[in-house]
Amino acid sequence: MKKDTHPEYHTINVKMTDGTVIQMKSTWGSEGDQLALDIDPSAHPAWNGGSSRLLDQGGRVSKFKNKYAGLGF
């Protein structure tokens, strides 16, 4: 690697949404800083598979059909 072209890679503390703190390597902040997450893999349905319902349960397509029902679609 070329000198002085890459950011410093150091250990930071990452606080998850449930309050647990883990250490990981990052270029964010400085050594020992704490990063608090709003969304993490333990709380987000895209990562834990929590939301498997259909999008259109009275959703966008139904609203569209109701709104433009009289136009002959």
pLDDT of residue 66: 82
Give yes or no for a contact between 46 and 65, defined as CB atoms under 8 angstroms apart.
Answer: no
Statement: residue 67 has pLDDT above 60: yes
The H or E element containing residue 63 is helix 60-67
Domain map (residue ranges) of the chain:
1-38
User: In terms of C-beta density within 10 A (0-12 exposed, 13-18 middle, 19 or more buried), how is residue 40 classed?
Assistant: middle
pLDDT tens, position by position, 14-50: 999 889 999 999 999 999 999 999 888 777 777 777 6
This prediction's pTM: 0.56
Statement: residue 1 has pLDDT above 70: no
Statement: residue 63 has pLDDT above 90: no
d(CA 41, CA 20): 13
Question: What's the gap between Cα 13 and its chain centre?
Answer: 18
